[in-house]
Each structure stands twice: as C-alpha cells, then as structure tokens.
C-alpha cells in the first residue's frame, strides 16, 4: 500500500468547517465527487453515511476512518480532511481532527483493512499527528503521510 499515491492533494481539505460528524463525512467525501474511482457519487455518499449509522467507523487518537465497501467504487479511494477545532464524538475522548473517508470496491475484502491499518500506523504517534495538524498545503499533507509511511 502506497499512501502517498493513494491520497491525492486535490482530495485533501485542510479546513473542514463541519460541526457534526455526519456533516464532516459529507464535506470530506465531497472531495471525491469527480473521482473516476466512483461511478455514482450520490449513491456512494448515501452508503457511507448509512454505514456510519451501522458502526462502520473506527477512531484512533483524534482520527476517524469512515469507510464503506460499495458497488459504486471501482478502485480504492481516499479523501482526507482536517478540522482544526475537532469534532467531539464521544464524551471523554479527544475530538476528531483528522478524517479519512475511504471507499472500497465490494469485491475487495481486505484492502480497506490494509488501507486503514497503514493510515493508523502513520497517525498513531502524537508527533506525526501534530505535524499533519500544522501543515499549510495539501501537497505537504500528502508528502508527510508518504514520509511517515516509510518510517513505519
């Protein structure tokens, strides 16, 4: 898995404005609207939002990984967003500041686990997350993820 190639700068938002988890997923997923990997964005968005209601998300220290396996996704696709203020999803837990929306083709059974696992290893350490929270440009965000992936 090469995260530096999977996450494209045009699919990174460093200023997510949403105040709720659902709106944040919608805002970050919107970065995938024209993605050739998705053949029906509206259906994909419905599925990822519905999956969140069914518990298809995973959190790791200020990071959320909403994901769905969908018949509308032709190849693994990722969009990333950063919320400076963060979204409080559970009392007593740190607010989610980094959001990675992941779409996976239905026939891919383990690829999303590989993608989430690779991202989780990159953002697991506080210094890595802190650097991602400070970057100024989407290209810098992608480069930092690629560099951190090489370390783990």
Residue 19 has pLDDT above 80, yes or no: yes
Domain boundaries, the chain: 3-151
Residue 54 has pLDDT above 70, yes or no: no
Which superfamily is assigned to 3-151 in CATH? Mannitol-specific EII; Chain A (3.40.930.10)
- Give the DSSP per-residue string, the chain: --HHHHS-GGGEES----SSHHHHHHHHHGGGTT-TTBS-HHHHHHHHHHHHHTT---EETTEE--EEEETTBSS-EEEEEEEEEEE--STTSPPEEEEEEEEEETT-SSHHHHHHHHHHHHHSSHHHHHHHHH--SHHHHHHHHHHHHHH-
The 10s digit of each residue's pLDDT in 105-150 is 988 878 778 878 888 888 888 899 999 999 999 999 999 999 998 8
pLDDT at position 94, please?
83
Q: What is the pTM of this model?
A: 0.92
């Amino acid at each position: 898995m090469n995260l530096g190639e999977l996450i494209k700068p045009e699919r990174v938002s460093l200023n997510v404005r949403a105040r709720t988890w659902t709106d944040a997923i919608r805002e970050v997923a919107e970065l995938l609207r024209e993605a050739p990997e998705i053949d029906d964005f509206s259906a994909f968005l419905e599925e990822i939002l519905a999956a969140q209601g069914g518990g298809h998300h995973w959190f790791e220290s200020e990071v959320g990984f909403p994901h769905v396996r969908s018949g509308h996704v032709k190849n693994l696709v990722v969009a990333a967003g950063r919320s400076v203020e963060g979204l409080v999803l559970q009392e007593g837990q740190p607010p989610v500041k980094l959001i990675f929306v992941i779409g996976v083709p239905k026939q891919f059974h383990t690829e999303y686990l590989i993608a989430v696992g690779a991202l989780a290893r990159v953002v697991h350490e506080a210094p890595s997350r802190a650097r991602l929270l400070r970057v100024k440009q989407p290209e810098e965000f992608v480069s930092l993820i690629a560099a951190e992936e090489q370390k783990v």
